[in-house]
Amino acid sequence: MPQDLTLHQRRRPPTAGELEGIPWLSLLNDKERLLTVPRIIVGDAQTGDAVCRIGRAPTYWFGVIDGLLKMNIDTDKGDSLTFTGVSRGGWFGEGTALKREPYRYNVNALRASVVAGLPIESFHSLLAESIGFNRFIMNQLNERLGQFIAAREIDRINNPDLRVARNLAALVNPVLFPGVGEFLHITQQELGYLVGLSRQRVNVALKRLEAAQWIHVTYGGIRILNLPALRSHTLPDT
């Protein structure tokens, strides 16, 4: 497929395997699923592709089948401020979709990713008709509130090791990102983009977290050994 096409122009129907990676589909009844599945589209995002842009009206509710996205804004100083990463199995922007307001953030692909979209009218139809879907959205919003409260805490942390720890914990949140499990596919460079640190400083932090037996760094990513510690504990001598 030509690479100069936009992400929207590269949209296609999802495969059976990709549908299995959508966590809320299993919460629909047979009728709801039968009506919803044909409306879902996926796009093969390349590194840097924009999934959402500030000021654009939402036309889809989006999720990540595979890959890694970042949610960010551009500051008045010309810098990019990253709010969070969105990893496999994560769906985002439900607040914007609910209010039908323009996006207040950008979402871009940090690497080649498969992004799914549910048309916003289908999103609202499920909200009006599906108990299972409503419960999923309610859990999403509740967990998202906790995520952003935690993000404010991270902003006040001056210790780079703990910043990396808290961001790792956010990326493997089992409610928001059920497709991740205990192994996070991420490079040190990608983690640096999300945390706002250099790759070299991220490497130092990961070594400290590994020494504490909170994680294990291996080929292709990071295995989470102690999620509660990543979320709330303090490293010795920090």
- What are the structural domains, with CATH classification, of the chain? 16-150 (2.60.120.10), 158-232 (1.10.10.10)
Place of tokens 């808290």: 166
Query: Which strands, in side-by-side order, build the sheet including 91-92?
Result: 41-45, 113-119, 60-66, 91-92
Helix ranges (DSSP H) in the chain? 16-20, 30-36, 94-99, 120-129, 131-155, 160-171, 188-195, 199-211, 227-232
Q: What is the pLDDT of residues 139-191, one digit of tens each?
A: 999 988 887 777 667 667 778 999 999 999 999 999 999 989 899 999 999 99
Q: What is the pLDDT of residues 32-45, one digit of tens each?
A: 999 999 999 999 99
Of 183, 169, 177, the closest CA to residue 21 belongs to: 177
Query: Which strands, in side-by-side order, build the sheet including 69-74?
Result: 50-52, 106-109, 69-74, 80-86
DSSP, collapsed to helix, strand or coil, labels residue 116 as: strand
DSSP, collapsed to helix, strand or coil, labels residue 208 as: helix
Q: What is the pLDDT of residues 90-117, one digit of tens each?
A: 999 999 999 999 999 999 999 999 999 9
Q: What is the pLDDT of residue 196?
A: 87
Q: What is the pLDDT of residues 190-225, one digit of tens each?
A: 999 998 899 999 999 999 999 999 999 999 899 999
